[in-house]
Amino acid sequence: MFARMIDDFKESTGTALRLTELGAVAALALFITLCFLCAAAFIYVLQNFGLIEACLTGAAIFFVVALVVAACYAVRKNQVKTHARENEKSALQTALADPMLVATGIQLIRAIGVKKLIPILAVGGLALGLLASRHAPPSGEAPAE
């Protein structure tokens, strides 16, 4: 079970690193392209309208680019949160569906006994409830989906 989790972590880290490298190269190429386009727009506006208008045009172009990048960042951050919640649920489901874990649980119940196990489960349930309430959003707020 832990080996699978480690393999999944290694695979996701390698994938993230490769995607980051590709993203960095694409961002650099996009930045150079944007610089040439801004220079061309600046020269065009400078020749036709004047220096102040050319500077304001350049500022407007960069402001629009900043808004687009901020929107992309917010969307991506939301996607990562949603994906993390889905992975968290699937990891728990995978752990509970593991036959070795179920067999170990049955052997533990046989070794300890059901009468002694009930108070232990009650304390564990209480601890789990307290842990879940710490990570729950404040009342009145719906969780972001």
Residue 117's contacts (CB-CB under 8 Å, 6 or more residues apart) are 108, 109
Highest mean pLDDT among 31-35, 84-88, 106-110: 31-35
| CA-to-CA dists, residue 25 to 5, 43, 54, 69, angstroms | 30, 27, 29, 16
Q: Is the pLDDT of residue 88 over 70?
A: no
Rounded mean pLDDT of 87-106?
Answer: 71
Q: Quick one: pLDDT at residue 68? A: 92
Residue 41's contacts (CB-CB under 8 Å, 6 or more residues apart) are 57, 58, 61
Q: In this predicted model, which residue has the larger pLDDT, 119 or 55?
A: 55
Residue 81's contacts (CB-CB under 8 Å, 6 or more residues apart) are 144
Q: In this predicted model, which residue has the larger pLDDT, 83 or 143?
A: 83
Amino acid at 56: L
Helix (H, G, I), strand (E, B) or coil at 113: coil
Q: Is the pLDDT of residue 62 over 90?
A: no
Q: Quick one: pLDDT at residue 137? A: 57
Q: Quick one: pLDDT at residue 105? A: 79
- pLDDT tens-place string over residues 104-120: 878 877 888 777 778 88
Report which DSSP code applies to 93. H
Q: Quick one: pLDDT at residue 48? A: 95
Distance spanning both ends of the chain, measured CA to CA: 29
- pLDDT tens-place string over residues 21-32: 888 999 999 989
- Ranges of each domain in the chain: 2-97, 102-131
72-99 burial, b for 16+ CB within 10 Å, e for fewer?
eeeeeeeeeeeeeeeeeeeeeeeeeeee
Angle at 76 between CA 143 and CA 5, to 5 degrees: 80
